[in-house]
Amino acid sequence: MLETSTLPTTLAAVEVPVLFWTGVFATTIVWVLVSNLRQFSQTRQRERTRREIAAYVAEGSISPADARTMMGADETEFEKKIADAVSWGMLSSKKAEQLLKALRDDRESRERSANPASMS
């Protein structure tokens, strides 16, 4: 003879609110995962670009002013980013010193060119 189970064997036997909330929960989980992966990818690409720009500045291929323009950061934010890169181990302290020196030299040269009367 056939045994009947107390558990529903088809989706039709499950109540509609249970299916609805299960679907909402599953959709929310997928949305959160995709959103976090997208944000992680964007952050990773942004940091990779910043490291590459910092390397170009360190080797002298581009000026610190151009690098700031490319990164869209003001000077204090740029200095903070260099410090963060050192603390995260993404940039050596020697390279950071080179970047900061280049940044200060560039700032001084811009100030001298903006105030030619102060040179005499």
Mean residue pLDDT of the chain comes to 79
Distance CA 30, CA 57 (A): 41
Q: Look at the chain and report how many structural domains it folds into.
A: 1
CA separation for the pair 54, 107 (Å, rounded): 17
Instruction: Please indicate, yes or no, if residue 9 is contained in any of the structural domains.
Output: no
Q: Percentage of the chain with pLDDT > 90?
A: 16
Q: In the predicted model, is pLDDT for residue 33 greater than 60?
A: yes
| 47 has pLDDT over 80 | yes
Burial (CB count within 10 angstroms: exposed 0-12, middle 13-18, buried 19+), residue 64? buried
Higher pLDDT, residue 70 or 117: 70
Distance of CA 25 to the CA centre of its chain: 29
Per-residue pLDDT tens over the stretch 6-18: 655 665 666 878 8
Considering the domain boundaries, does residue 97 fall inside one?
Answer: yes
Specify the pLDDT at position 29: 97
pLDDT score for 2: 54
Does residue 36 fall inside a structural domain?
Answer: no
CA 96, CA 102: separation in Å to the nearest integer? 10
Domain of residue 55, residue span: 47-108
Does residue 41 lie in a domain region?
no
Residue 40: inside a domain = no
Tallying the residues shown for the chain, one arrives at 120
Alpha helices (H) in 60-92, listed in sequence order: 64-71, 75-87
Give pLDDT, residue 1: 47
62 occurs within a structural domain: yes
C-alpha to C-alpha distances, 54 to 12, 20, 49, 63, nearest whole angstrom: 60, 51, 9, 10
Does the structure show a pLDDT above 70 at 117? no
Domain for residue 8, yes or no?
A: no
Q: What are the pLDDT digits (tens) for 79-106?
A: 778 878 887 888 888 888 888 888 777 7
**Structure-token match 């080797």, residue found:** 59
Is residue 14 assigned to a domain? no
